[in-house]
Amino acid sequence: MKERNYTLFKKIINSSFGVFTSRIFGLIRDLAVAAFFGASKYTDAFFVAFAIPNLFRALFAEGALSSAFLPILAENKNKGSDYANTYMTKLLFYLFILVGFVTLTIIIFSRYFVIIFLPGYVNDQDTVIFASGILKIVMPYLIFISLSSIFAGFLNLLGSYFIPYSSTALLNISMIAGAYIGWKLNGNIFYLAYGVFVGGLLQFVLLFIYSYYFGYKMEFKKEIDGNVKKTFLLIIPSIVGVGISQLNFTIGRIVASFLKEGSISYLYYANRLFQFPLGVFSIALSSVALAELSKLNTENTTERQYQLIDKSIAAIFLIILPATAGLIILSDEITKFIYQRNLFGAEDTKNTAEALIMYSIGLIFYSLVNLFTKVFHSRKDTKTPVKIAFISFIANLIFMLLFIKWLSHSGIALASTCAALVNSLLLYINIKDYKFNFKANSRLIIKFIFATLFMSAILIILKNYNLNVLIVIAISAISYFLCLKLLNINIRRVLK
């Protein structure tokens, strides 16, 4: 196995740049979908159908599986490449059987699954049948992405981050092509679904080839390895935890199906904008932290683990604070710039921007949830995050009932933010042997806050000059990092 020895800073940059590449194409994809198909019951139906494999993707792929797989592979890496290859091959085989069964079941009973996830349209049989057809096409994507997650985790452990994270760009490019073809063929959104299928296949092929280059060879023995069983046993509570977290978004979509037509689409479009900084930095950072903490746990270096968590929290404040301010202040301008054209009108922009503000308020909490959850997973504790996720799920339901009456679809987004706050606080409290070193980091955090306030003032001033939103974002970003420079903040040193 060819391992790359990069610094933490380089690993975060590589992973972030990989996610950034993917998210740029993701934004173009969403721009194309909004322009070609707008916000209607048909886009609601597509987004719900596409959300079903993505829900199971979070269960079987990125979230649960990698959190169980990486620590075990790191612990046993010294057994040599033959062991790693045999372990991975067995894991891939049993995962294919499990996910294949789930996929086939959902395809056969697609109509019933659509009704469960889209109950507001239960009396609109045309929409239910339409969504059912979409679901049958996009479900095999779950198989491709689940198997890809094994190769992505393997590459992460060897220090390769850019290719695994940028590979999702293939899905986005394929969906862009599908959206364009569908638009040309009288607005046929089914071609967007075909784009999902082709994109998932391409992503799987790329990661398989790259893993082969890094030393993976398919080796399968008849004996069932104990660590394979151990991995699936660890996955079970993690699946429940990730599932509960995903249910926050799923319940939101279900409730939104009872609101005015297009509400599901507004939440989807807003969530995609909110996910851009979350994915580019926070999720990428958490994935690097999982790989690094898993290695450190095998070395019993507690002090270095604490330092890594401290650095990760500081890094989150460094990037997420200005991102939050920017998304809130420029919510209308960003939404209009990305989405408003053709079938996506001014009213759609307004509704999407309202939801974006509510999601953005919780950006820091979502980031901390991702990080703290990985801390537990690196220690092979997948049960504690599950218990806390359940509490946050109940909190989400309560907040949703409180907010939806006054804020409509935006209340769903705000409820999700409040639930993330509850989740992050409980996770932090339950990392018994760790407490963030406020004494050593307080001056640093204060400087981040000051620079964010300075940038926010620049943003508010620039909004009045009718400048292109990209120019405004560029100037505000420069002002933020310039302010940090004047405050003697060296970003590389922060992440050293």
User: pLDDT tens digit string along 391-429?
Assistant: 998 999 999 989 998 899 999 999 999 999 999 999 998
Tell me the C-alpha distance between 38 and 160, whole Å: 38
The 10 Å CB-count burial string (b at 16+, else e) for 449-483 is eebbebbbebbeebeeeeeebeebbebbeebbeeb
User: pLDDT tens digit string along 116-128?
Assistant: 888 887 888 888 8
Tell me the C-alpha distance between 386 and 63, whole Å: 12
**What share of the chain has pLDDT > 70, as a percent?**
82
- Has residue 59 got a pLDDT over 70? no
User: pLDDT tens digit string along 263-307?
Assistant: 888 998 898 888 887 766 666 666 666 566 666 665 556 777 777
User: pLDDT tens digit string along 74-131?
Assistant: 666 666 677 777 888 888 888 899 889 999 999 999 999 998 888 887 888 888 899 9
Tell me the C-alpha distance between 163 and 169, whole Å: 10
Predicted confidence at residue 280, as pLDDT, reads 66
Q: Cβ(394)–Cβ(338) under 8 Å?
A: no
Instruction: Calculate the dihedral angle through the C-alpha atoms of 98, 102, 104, 107, rounding to the nearest 10 degrees.
Output: -160
* Selection from 262, 343, 461, 337 nearest residue 36 by Cα: 343
Q: Cβ(336)–Cβ(34) under 8 Å?
A: no
User: pLDDT tens digit string along 146-189?
Assistant: 888 888 878 877 777 778 778 888 999 999 999 999 998 888 88
Tell me the C-alpha distance between 289 and 303, whole Å: 15
Tell me the C-alpha distance between 424 and 430, whole Å: 10
User: pLDDT tens digit string along 419-475?
Assistant: 999 999 999 988 877 788 888 788 889 999 999 999 999 999 998 888 889 999 999
Mention every residue, 6+ apart, whose C-beta is less than 8 A from residue 113: 52, 106, 135
- Has residue 194 got a pLDDT over 90? yes
Tell me the C-alpha distance between 205 and 117, whole Å: 31
Predicted confidence at residue 200, as pLDDT, reads 93
Mention every residue, 6+ apart, whose C-beta is less than 8 A from residue 458: 475, 476, 479
What long-range pairs does 232-237 form, CB within 8 A, spacing at least 24? 232/68, 232/94, 234/67, 234/68, 234/72, 234/380, 234/382, 235/64, 235/65, 235/68, 235/382, 237/382, 237/383, 237/386
Tell me the C-alpha distance between 48 and 70, whole Å: 31
User: pLDDT tens digit string along 360-391?
Assistant: 999 999 889 888 887 887 777 777 888 888 89
